[in-house]
Amino acid sequence: MLSWIRKNLSPALIFFFILVIQTNAQQKPNIVLIYLDDLGYGDVSAYGVGTLQTPNMDRLANGGLRFTNGYASSATCTPSRYALLTGTYPWRNQDAKILPGTAPLIIDTAQMTLPKMLKEQGYETAVIGKWHLGLGTGFVDWNQEISPSPNHVGFDHSHILAATQDRVPTVYIENGRVVNLDPKDPIQVDYDKNFDGEPTAISNPELLTMKWHHGHNNSIVNGIPRIGYMKGGDSAKWSDVDMADHFLEKGKAYIHEKAKSDKPFFLFFPMQQPHVPRTPHPRFEGKSGMGPRGDVILEADWVIGEMLKTLEEEGVLENTLIIFSSDNGPVLNDGYYDDAVEKLGDHTPAGPFRGGKYSLYEAGTRVPFVTYWKGIIQHGVSDALVTQIDLLASLAALVGSEEIGPDSQNLLEVFMGKSQKGRDSFVLEAYTKTALRAGDWVMIPPYPGPAVEKNVNIEMGNSPDYQLYNLKEDPGQKTNLAQSNPEKLEEMKKKYQEIRGD
């Protein structure tokens, strides 16, 4: 046989065959991206700052690589998700801001995305959870197939909530179709005006089981007042307290099915906790002693544990890279009276950082960030500067693609724990304002607006003056060095302008 091969095939051809055999043998890992909503740096006990205990998040953080300088691109949801999936700074896209439930899809269907890149490399792809990147192209008819949807930007399968748990429509959408919709009770959604005769939090406060604090006084669903007006679609409405179980069941079913496939899979699992309204299943009610915010974090932690168990049961945990992070920093009162402030106790959701969700200060964007791959990534802590924007180029490098995305950097070696050399710099975004992190420094340009957003009680980072902080010496951003270190300030201003290009 061997001599036949030598006689009849050229050495080049033999080399080619060996290569083909080798490439097939190197199986690409599954990738599971667990992405929480408003979870703070200090909400994960492995980060060692808060008092809430999150054993399953810790299992990832302590068994994998825990980043202390890991950033969401933004201090709010939509822009962070946009950057994560496209590898593009969200401030390059004016539409990448908190979207209503009726907003059109803000990812161009021609644009490269993380799931598209993985699909090109042989992956099966799915998103199960919160979307909040818009749907359709303009007016959406929720009673027909909604297009474009996640299925048009790289996901083979999608089972989502359109925007946020506090925004209508309060229904699940699978592959562009509202689930359990009765055609005789069509859904209508409007963000400007109510439908005649429909109760709202203002007209019928007696129907409320949760009180609104600011915003959130439009349609009432399951006793909870929402943002936006909705009529019809009763049979399709989700149950808030069952949402965690619902997405878990869908996530588990996906893993069970795809673990048997010979293709690798990518599961984007964006969870709704601890975003408002915080509606823990009764199993978790009162469990944290911190009110619903703490309870839903424990619920999310349990869900993550169940997802890990499912990967183990299927025997694929060793061949699965898990990435765990959050879309922005923490907020306590985000529009409902739910005891988040009153029952916080000693817990510190923002960790050692200043600000929170919506803020240019660190707690807005510095989030829990973990890479975990059993048997491959050695456990440890990395202080390298990494951002979610870098996942596109880095995962591309992992699976043999050359896609990079405009602003994404290939930090694969860093994510795998083989290098400590992260990014040099990064322009973070908060509520359409931006600031520069470079090395140990951060520079926040002057912005008008209140220093503290009263409703949420968060320092926004607005100031008439330039702000400059050395985060290594002063992680809490207490001492503004703009006056005392003018050279550094100039250097940072220059770099910021270079990146922003304006």
Q: Which does 335 bind (CB under 5 to 8 A by kind): ligand NG6, Ca ion, none?
A: ligand NG6
Judged by beta carbon, residue 77 or residue 308, the one nearer Ca ion is: 77
DSSP 3-state assignment of 134?
coil
Judged by beta carbon, residue 228 or residue 330, the one nearer Ca ion is: 330
Stretch that binds Ca ion, among 29-37, 90-98, 335-343, 493-501 (CB under 5 A): 29-37
Judged by beta carbon, residue 328 or residue 467, the one nearer ligand NG6 is: 328
Q: How far is the CB of 37 from ligand NG6 (least distance, A)?
A: 6
Judged by beta carbon, residue 158 or residue 333, the one nearer ligand NG6 is: 333
Q: Which of 37, 43, 58, 459 touches Ca ion (CB under 5 A)? A: 37
Judged by beta carbon, residue 173 or residue 416, the one nearer ligand NG6 is: 173
Judged by beta carbon, residue 37 or residue 43, the one nearer Ca ion is: 37
Q: How far is the CB of 51 from Ca ion (least distance, A)?
A: 22
Tokens of 303: 């869900």
Q: Which does 214 bind (CB under 5 to 8 A by kind): ligand NG6, Ca ion, none?
A: ligand NG6
Judged by beta carbon, residue 43 or residue 327, the one nearer Ca ion is: 327
Q: How far is the CB of 130 from ligand NG6 (least distance, A)?
A: 8
| DSSP track, 418-429 | S-----SEEEEE
What is the Cα–Cα distance from 20 to 17, expressed in whole angstroms? Answer: 5
Considering only residues 56 to 85 of the shown chain, the ones binding Ca ion according to CB under 5 A are 77
166 belongs to the binding site for Ca ion (CB under 5 A): no
Judged by beta carbon, residue 77 or residue 106, the one nearer Ca ion is: 77
| DSSP track, 330-366 | --S-SSB-SSTTTT-TT--TTTT-S--TT-SSHHHHB
407 belongs to the binding site for Ca ion (CB under 5 A): no
Between vectors from CA 500 to CA 497 and to CA 502, what angle results, nearest 5°? Answer: 65
Judged by beta carbon, residue 64 or residue 335, the one nearer ligand NG6 is: 335
Considering only residues 302 to 331 of the shown chain, the ones binding Ca ion according to CB under 5 A are 327-328
Q: Which does 98 bind (CB under 5 to 8 A by kind): ligand NG6, Ca ion, none?
A: ligand NG6
Q: Which does 226 bind (CB under 5 to 8 A by kind): ligand NG6, Ca ion, none?
A: none
Tokens of 3: 């001599």
Judged by beta carbon, residue 43 or residue 314, the one nearer Ca ion is: 43
Q: How far is the CB of 212 from ligand NG6 (least distance, A)?
A: 9
Q: Which does 170 bind (CB under 5 to 8 A by kind): Ca ion, ligand NG6, none?
A: none
Q: How far is the CB of 479 from ligand NG6 (least distance, A)?
A: 30
Q: How far is the CB of 129 from ligand NG6 (least distance, A)?
A: 13
Residues 6+ apart with CB under 8 A from 338: 210, 276, 277, 278, 291, 292, 293
| DSSP code of residue 241 | G
The type of residue at 11 is P
| DSSP track, 74-124 | BSSHHHHHHHHHH-S-GGG-TT-SPPPTTPPP-S-TTS--HHHHHHHTT-E
Q: Which does 495 bind (CB under 5 to 8 A by kind): Ca ion, ligand NG6, none?
A: none
What is the Cα–Cα distance from 189 to 183, expressed in whole angstroms? Answer: 15
Q: How far is the CB of 285 from ligand NG6 (least distance, A)?
A: 21
Q: How far is the CB of 327 from Ca ion (least distance, A)?
A: 4
Report how far apart the first and last C-alpha atoms of the chain are (Å, whole number): 67
Handedness of CA 411, 413, 414, 420 (dihedral sign): negative
230: β partners: 189
Judged by beta carbon, residue 228 or residue 329, the one nearer Ca ion is: 329
What is the Cα–Cα distance from 326 to 38, expressed in whole angstroms? Answer: 6
Q: Which does 439 bind (CB under 5 to 8 A by kind): Ca ion, ligand NG6, none?
A: none
CB-CB contact of 186 with 143 (8 Å): yes
Residues 6+ apart with CB under 8 A from 188: 142, 195, 230, 231, 232
Helix and strand counts by DSSP (H, E) for the chain = 11, 20
Q: How far is the CB of 97 from ligand NG6 (least distance, A)?
A: 9
Alpha-carbon 348 to chain mean position: 21
Task: For residue 486, count other CB atoms closer than 10 A to its CB.
Answer: 12
Judged by beta carbon, residue 60 or residue 84, the one nearer Ca ion is: 84
Q: Which of 31, 34, 38, 336 touches Ca ion (CB under 5 A)? A: 38
Q: How far is the CB of 73 from Ca ion (least distance, A)?
A: 12
Give the binding site for ligand NG6 (CB under 6 A): 37-38, 76-77, 98, 132, 164, 166, 214-216, 227, 275-276, 328, 334-335
Residues 6+ apart with CB under 8 A from 31: 118, 123, 264, 265, 266, 267, 320, 321, 322, 323, 395
Q: How far is the CB of 462 from ligand NG6 (least distance, A)?
A: 17
Q: Which of 153, 144, 79 is nearest to 114 (CA)?
A: 153
Return residues touching Ca ion (CB under 5 A): 37-38, 77, 327-328
